[in-house]
Amino acid sequence: MAASAPGAAPETEPETEPETEQTSFREEIRAAMREALLADDRVFLMGEDVGGYGGAFGVSLGLVEEFGPDRIRDTPLSESGFVGAGIGAAVAGMRPIVEIMTVNFSLLALDQILNNAATLLHMSGGQVSVPVVIRMTTGAGRQLAAQHSHSLEGWYAGIPGIRVLSPGTLQDARYMLAPALADPDPVVIFEHGSLYNATGPTAPRPESFDIVSAAVRRTGRDVSLISHGGSLPKVLAAAEALAADGVSAEVVDLRSLRPLDGATIAASVARTHRAVVVDEGWRTGGLAAEIAARIAELAFYDLDAPVERVCGAEVPVPYPKHLEDAAIPQVADIVAAARRAVG
Amino acid sequence: MAASAPGAAPETEPETEPETEQTSFREEIRAAMREALLADDRVFLMGEDVGGYGGAFGVSLGLVEEFGPDRIRDTPLSESGFVGAGIGAAVAGMRPIVEIMTVNFSLLALDQILNNAATLLHMSGGQVSVPVVIRMTTGAGRQLAAQHSHSLEGWYAGIPGIRVLSPGTLQDARYMLAPALADPDPVVIFEHGSLYNATGPTAPRPESFDIVSAAVRRTGRDVSLISHGGSLPKVLAAAEALAADGVSAEVVDLRSLRPLDGATIAASVARTHRAVVVDEGWRTGGLAAEIAARIAELAFYDLDAPVERVCGAEVPVPYPKHLEDAAIPQVADIVAAARRAVG
Amino acid sequence: MSRAKKPPQSRKPSPASAAESEAPAEPVLSEETKHLLELVDQMLLIRAFEERCVELYSAGTIRGFIHLYIGEEAVAVGVNAALSPDDAVVSTYREHGHALARGVPVEAVMAEMYGKATGCSHGRGGSMHLFDVERRFYGGNAIVGGGLPIAAGLALADRMTGRNRVTCCFFGDGAVAEGEFHETANLAALWDLPLLLVCENNLYAMGTPLEREHAQTDLAMRAASYGMPAWAVDGMDAVAVERAARRAVDGILAGNGPHFLEMRTYRFRAHSMYDPDRYRDKAEVERWRERDPIPLLARRLPPGAADLEEMTKRATAVVDRAVAAAEAAPVEPVEDLYRFVSHEGS
Amino acid sequence: MSRAKKPPQSRKPSPASAAESEAPAEPVLSEETKHLLELVDQMLLIRAFEERCVELYSAGTIRGFIHLYIGEEAVAVGVNAALSPDDAVVSTYREHGHALARGVPVEAVMAEMYGKATGCSHGRGGSMHLFDVERRFYGGNAIVGGGLPIAAGLALADRMTGRNRVTCCFFGDGAVAEGEFHETANLAALWDLPLLLVCENNLYAMGTPLEREHAQTDLAMRAASYGMPAWAVDGMDAVAVERAARRAVDGILAGNGPHFLEMRTYRFRAHSMYDPDRYRDKAEVERWRERDPIPLLARRLPPGAADLEEMTKRATAVVDRAVAAAEAAPVEPVEDLYRFVSHEGS
Ligand SMILES: Cc1ncc(C[n+]2csc(CCOP(=O)(O)OP(=O)(O)O)c2C)c(N)n1
Ligand SMILES: Cc1ncc(C[n+]2csc(CCOP(=O)(O)OP(=O)(O)O)c2C)c(N)n1
Ligand SMILES: [Mg+2]
Ligand SMILES: [Mg+2]
């Protein structure tokens, strides 16, 4: 299905993309998986249509030809079954990368993720490690309507026992996987569907690289724009627009949604005294709520204005473009919220 | 399983309970269902062991004898299947009460609840109504360990398209069901396992009764203690302790977790200038985060101190009593948080 | 209420045949021939509708995920012919054919593809979420297997209220691997629900061939293991499909509980727009195209009874009008974003 | 690595038999008799352990949910006898018997019931979450059906790394209705996983009798529909259980993929402590008690070979020591609450 996402046509895009120094999220994630598969026999990729089809979004295109159907393993439509099998294989010492086609379908595997992956280590008194990496596409923006447009990062970020990552840059798309696989605990990686085709220059291999700290992608004085993943480009564009307008916005990219890097967030707010949190998930009880609450706890006396939340509208995402656009954060909404914050 | 909860032994307790003017949560919920079954042929109860067994917590004890196995319908262990069937029956005009034994198992039905129950009305452009009521037990406190002690109210409270209720008083246990069944949209009712045996005088049938507004259970000047469901008794006890100590605490019972009654919350904080939110769910991304964020938005300039969150520790709930007690909010924790708030 | 098997002509005519009926009916045609002509008309309408969707999608006029039914039309029209207006239908994201065969107006379906306020789901759903409650069409569901428990619930309501009618649920071969299929099959058989389970086995779940989805590829046999009548049918032959569906519906109405039909069919197009269809052998696709359900059924008609060219023109004209209407139709105002979230419009 | 079928005595002896082995072995006993005596010892230990649990629970010493295995012991000891130490086991919340048969030290299991730091899960899990990774016992799982996909994953790892060993998953008749059973059975059969599926059919899922859980109550036949060898076994007869398990294990090790065994058994006690057992006819319970697996097996031994009274005393003594140790053991300090949440102790 996903393959029909206009924005995510794996088969057409790669061809048309300049293959020189430019690269895309899709290619970087594929390169990361390829490297992991080459480096460690225990690593394998499992999910619906990851093999012959190349992945619903074409992320694993070509891998089955190189690594074979055993390590690039197509699964039946059985989300709870194959995610649980990935968890079990990890318990047995493998390093599975389990791809859930989209976060929408991950609800069918949530029992396995919460009650087993996140819980086995503790229930067993430290005996059972679950070094599994679960990748899933998230987000709206391609007119896929109510059952294919969720952003449930906030729920996963609330589960003790797992690590949750949300790459928003090509470098993170490329280099977050290795440390995730090295983590003895379960790691969930969210890939925003609208980023797969995002291109840019290939990032150099970083000297040191962590998956725990947030990154300040742009420094500013007047307001902190805090976001991650698919919203990051919009936030950077908003910061640009605000600058043109004399408002100096700092952009904090969370990168890790669990654990949250409260120190970096608080430090930024301590500098700017104002915060806007941008997350595509539903506003009530979403990730933005936690970040707003944290800021109010960590930087209460630094805040000069209420924390602004720019979130998804609380509707099952509608199909028509004009309504979908209205349902998820747009650059203009971020700019407006920042203006309210700076008063 | 649940039937073995010491605190929830339906077969032993009712006998030992004084049957005169005193009543219990269990009896009030049963009375509410009985009334609904008598009042409307479209109402039926469906779930695992709701019939002959009387419900895992004995809530439906005796109903199958009165209404028969068709309307008090035992289901196989198929959470997604029978919850979905309840949704479908509601679409067809019935008024099903679907009992999910505990919230822990509701993860297996979450796809049906989110992607169908909460979404069908919108996806169909207003054509498909889903007047289903889903009851589930929630919470820890009975040493049931990591897979039987969740409090996921915060997740459900974040789903557009459904109403979420959390009775914390005998009166709400008794009278929330009828308006929930009258609601043309899906309603999820959380029953805290530790409340079933809570007893008190039978509440009079209220003149008017709503399921949208929060209730101030105790008025106070110095701090607002905001909570719901199973934590309410602890919060009232904390208020008592604080009073003995010269701290006047106001107790706000949310009652409805979605929609949240922001007005009542804000009004209380406007009076007290300090807030402590108490919820048994994991702190990060839980219900308390949303309430803290709301307060900071609605009452920013009224707040004299950061909002305190007293929540479940971020661990899969451990089995031993001393560790479980340490993992969920206790009266002492609430008192301490209130003291921090009033400074 | 019990009901007798209704003769074909008593069933809701499809829009296309409605259009046709204005033309003077060829007097010499038997009822049976007229019925088959109606099925051909319905298939032509679905085909014309979807071929137009391809153009509109390529032009960027319609968006989202579009899953074409081209090649599988005999299943939708054959099954629908066995259903009566008060039966219910639950479908998937590949449901243009089911909706049109059910009689959802072409204009409303096309407007939905456009996301217009006049769409059969008010424009909120798009291709994967077509609804028409008046016709008891309970929708496209885009979660594979997600419609199965809902269908069981619709059937349960009829069972509990003693209404003798059928709920028909369409799903694919891939859906059979989902736990929800298992739970629904067991519930339906256990509770003797009036449920018609129609598995459209087109041999692939996206890019995964049947034999890599299922250990036991005889899906009818798998279903039979739940203790329900189940058999496989040539899904390219509308007559065979209708006959099987009638037998199943009669069995259900007779109180024999759920029935499972494995419709052996094939999609001529890729899984969805832009799927490059790398995983299927072109020769295989060609072999199936030779069994295109439309000419297959037309060949069964008495010589001269079916002028496919003429009938295609009529279907195309119906689609043309639907496109024109959709183009002209209004969209919902942005202010109405929160409409339909709840009855209160919370 | 391939491996030969190991003779019984090469298997890890259970603590009870270890205790026993200190006593001079009766010289006239055949290997077979010794092996059966060992199985009786294991069953007596499980029985004694659980009867003590009832007392401790009633006294309020241990808490949480306690699901007794009393009456089903033959399944645990018979299946375990067919497994070798490098095989893996995944179980349910009714797993005292599986853990003890597997050789998890009684002291560690009893300490876990107490929630003590010396428990086999450090006291974190309690009755429903017994773990012992050293013995490849991957735990009690309290989500019905939740262990099945995990077991498939353990088997998948062996399959991918070419280790020729078995993963055994225990689950109940009720679990077969869960979608996860279906998904796991299909995956295992599709991928030829070395998985032994042991369904403990005790005729009830909590208070719901088999015929109200399943449309098709012949569970072995249902499993066979996935294309795997499956048959029913007298679960009260430890010898029949072991024979069947050996056949299945041999088939799995020979590369024939997953096998399913339906163990026809019965729980003599209620579903859990405090379940008043309203839903079962006392006469039915009595009939089954007449087939108590312990005397049933003892009767097969040569006259005089088994002194049940004496053996029971030994088992009770083992449990006494375990209780004493558990009583004396320390609990984890509250400061360690966050321990084991993640390797970082985040
Ligand atoms: C639960 C779930 N998993 C995965 C998907 C993505 N997806 C959409 S259609 C499809 C293939 C379904 O195959 P089948 O059931 O045979 O139906 P067909 O498309 O062949 O008609 C997949 C994997 C989904 N929509 N829902
Ligand atoms: C997913 C899930 N649903 C419901 C429960 C509650 N529950 C615990 S055991 C049980 C009955 C299981 O029956 P069966 O599988 O036959 O195993 P048995 O207890 O008979 O050994 C139920 C309903 C649960 N623990 N998990
Ligand atoms: Mg298919
Ligand atoms: Mg059972």
The ligand 1 atom nearest the CA atom of C202:
20
Ligand 4 centroid, distance to B341 Cα (angstroms): 51
Does residue D8 surpass a pLDDT of 50? no
Ligand 1 atom index nearest CA of C144: 26
Q: What percent of chain A clears pLDDT 90, i.e. is strictly above it?
A: 92
Q: Is A110 on the interface with D (CB under 8 A)?
A: no
Average pLDDT over residues B281-303: 97
Q: Tell whether ligand 2 has an atom less than 6 A from the beta carbon of residue D317.
A: no
Residues from chain D contacting residue B319 (CB–CB below 8 Å) = 64, 115, 123-126, 129
Task: Reply yes or no on whether the pLDDT at B235 is more than 80.
Answer: yes
Matching CATH number, B23-201, of 1.10.4080.10, 3.40.50.970, 3.40.50.12160, 3.30.460.80? 3.40.50.970
- Does D205 sit in the ligand 2 pocket, CB within 6 Å? yes
> What average pLDDT does this structure show over D46-67?
97
Check residue B203 and give its pLDDT: 83
Ligand 1 pocket check: which of A50, A80, A101 to mutate, most ligand atoms within 8 Å of Cβ? A101
Chain D residues with CB inside 8 Å of B12's CB? 274, 276
| Interval B176-186: pLDDT, tens | 999 999 999 99
pLDDT digits (tens, 9 = 90+) for B115-172: 999 999 999 999 999 999 999 999 999 999 999 999 999 999 999 999 999 999 999 9
Give the list of residues 6+ apart from residue A100 with CB closer than 8 angstroms, or none. Answer: A47, A79, A83, A106, A109, A134, A135, A136
User: First-to-last CA distance in chain D?
Assistant: 39
For ligand 2, say whether the CB of D72 is within 6 Å of any of its atoms: no
- pLDDT at residue C19 in the model: 43
Provide the pLDDT confidence category of residue D24 given band limits of 50, 70 and 90: low
Write out pLDDT tens, residues D180-215. 999 999 999 999 999 999 999 999 999 999 999 999
Residue D64's region, left for phi above 0, alpha for psi from -120 to 50, else beta, is left
Rounded Cα gap, residues A38 and D32, in angstroms: 51
For ligand 1, is residue C213 a contact (CB within 6 Å)? no
Determine, for residues B77 and D213 on separate chains, whether the beta-carbon distance falls below 8 Å.
yes
Put residue B255 in one of left, alpha, beta given phi > 0 → left and psi -120 to 50 → alpha: left
Residue of A nearest to D186 (CA): A76
Q: Which ligand is nearest to the CA of D207?
A: 2
Give the Å distance between the CA of D210 and the centre of ligand 4.
8
Distance separating alpha carbons of residues D267 and D70, to the nearest angstrom: 6
Looking at domain C29-331, does it have CATH number 1.20.1740.10?
no
- CB atoms C177 and A76 under 8 Å: yes
**Which of D109, D136, D168, D183 has the highest number of chain A CBs within 10 A, making it the mutation to test binding with A?**
D183
CATH of the structural domain B215-342, one choice from 3.40.50.920, 3.10.20.30, 3.40.50.2000, 3.20.20.60: 3.40.50.920
Measured in Å, residue A320 CA sits from the centre of ligand 3 at 27
The average pLDDT across C242-252 equals: 98
Q: Could you identify the atom of ligand 1 that is nearest to the CA of residue C143? A: 26
pLDDT recorded at residue D85: 98
**Domain boundaries defined on chain D:** 29-331
Stated as kind and residue range, the H or E segment containing C208 is strand C208-209
Residue in B with minimal Cα distance to D93: B1
For chain B, give every residue range classified as CATH 3.40.50.920.
215-342
Taking CB atoms and an 8 Å limit, are A147 and C207 in contact across chains? Answer: no
Q: Residues in chain B, how many?
A: 343
Mean pLDDT score of chain A: 94
Q: Does ligand 2 come within 6 angstroms of the Cβ of D181?
A: no
- Is the pLDDT assigned to residue B3 strictly greater than 50? no
How much of chain D, in percent, has pLDDT values that exceed 70?
92
Would the CB of A99 count as within 6 Å of ligand 1? no
Closest-CA residue of B relative to C126 is B123
Chain A CB contacts of D343 under 8 Å are: 121, 129, 183-185
Residue-level pLDDT at C166: 98
Catalytically annotated residue among B148, B150, B192, B228: B148
Contact across the interface for A320 and C145, Cβ inside 8 Å: no
Report pLDDT for B1.
36
Write out the residue limits of the CATH 3.40.50.970 domain(s) in chain A. 23-201
Instruction: Write down the pLDDT at residue C273.
Output: 86
Q: What is the pLDDT of residue B48?
A: 98
- Strand D167-172 relative to strand D88-90, pairing: parallel
Contact yes or no for B115 and A147 at CB 8 A: yes
| Tokens of residue A276, six digits | 């806007």
Q: Between residues B4 and C179, which one has the greater pLDDT? A: C179
Which tens digit of pLDDT belongs to each residue from A240-262? 999 999 999 999 999 999 999 99
Residues of A designated catalytic:
79, 148
Structure confidence by residue, pLDDT tens digits, C83-119: 999 999 999 999 999 999 999 999 999 999 999 999 9
Instruction: Specify whether the CB–CB gap between C293 and C43 falls below 8 A.
Output: yes
Nearest-Cα residue of chain C relative to residue D212:
C190
At residue D19, does pLDDT exceed 90?
no
Question: Cβ contacts (< 8 Å) between C215 and chain D: which residues?
Answer: 185-186, 188-190, 226-228
What pLDDT does B246 receive? 97
* pLDDT score, position C274: 77
> Mean pLDDT over residues D246-264, rounded?
98
pLDDT at C10 over 50: no
Determine whether the interchain pair B53/D206 forms a contact, defined as Cβ–Cβ distance below 8 Å.
yes
For the CA of A79, the nearest ligand: 1
Q: pLDDT tens digit string along C267-306? A: 999 999 879 999 999 999 999 999 999 999 999 999 989 8
In three-state form (DSSP H/G/I as H, E/B as E, the rest C), the secondary structure along chain A is: CHHHCHHHCCCCHHHHCCCCCEEEHHHHHHHHHHHHHHHCCCEEEEECCCCCCCCCCCCCCCHHHHHHHHHEEECCCCHHHHHHHHHHHHHCCCEEEEEEEEHHHHHHHHHHHHHHHCCHHHHCCCCCCCCCEEEEEECCCCCCCCCCCCCCHHHHCCCCCCEEECCCCHHHHHHCHHHHHHCCCCEEEEEEHHHCCCEEECCCCCCCCCCCCCEEEECCCCEEEEECHHHHHHHHHHHHHHHCCCCCEEEEECCEEECCCHHHHHHHHHHHCCEEEEEEEECCCCHHHHHHHHHHHHCCCCCCCCCEEEEECCCCCCCCHHHHHHHCCCHHHHHHHHHHHHC
Query: Taking residues A22-30, what's their average pLDDT?
Result: 97
Is B35 a residue of the active site? no
Q: What integer pLDDT is reported at residue B98 of this predicted model? A: 99
Q: Which range is least confidently modeled, A298-302, C15-19, C68-72? A: C15-19
Q: Considering only CB atoms, which chain D residues are within 8 Å of B315? A: 337-338, 341
User: Chains B, C: CB contacts under 8 A, how many?
Assistant: 144
**Mutation choice for ligand 1 from C75, C94, C144, C273, CB with most ligand atoms inside 8 A:** C144
- A partners (3+ CB pairs within 8 A) are B, C, D
Task: Record the pTM.
Answer: 0.95
The confidence score (pLDDT) of residue D345 equals: 62
Q: B 16-55 residues with CB below 8 A of A?
A: none
Residue of C nearest to A11 (CA): C276
Q: What confidence category does residue B2 fall into, taking pLDDT thresholds of 50, 70 and 90?
A: very low
More confident residue, C314 or D1: C314
Residue B201 at interface with chain C, using a CB cutoff of 8 Å = no
Q: What is the mean pLDDT of residues A287-315?
A: 97
The whole-number average pLDDT for the span B99-113 is 98
Average pLDDT for A45-58: 97
Question: In Å, how far are A48, D259, D342 from A162, measured between CA atoms?
Answer: 23, 33, 8
C331 lines ligand 1 (CB under 6 A): no
C214 CA → ligand 3 middle, Å: 12
The stretch B54-79 carries a mean pLDDT of 98
Which ligand neighbours the alpha carbon of A101 most closely?
1
Q: What is the mean pLDDT of chain C?
A: 93
For residue range D95-143, list pLDDT tens digits in order.
999 999 999 999 999 999 999 999 999 999 999 999 999 999 999 999 9
pLDDT bin (cut points 50, 70, 90) of residue D27 is low
Ligand nearest the Cα of residue C172 is: 1
* Chain B contact for A343 (CB, 8 A cutoff): no
With an 8 Å Cβ cutoff, are B78 and D177 in contact?
A: yes
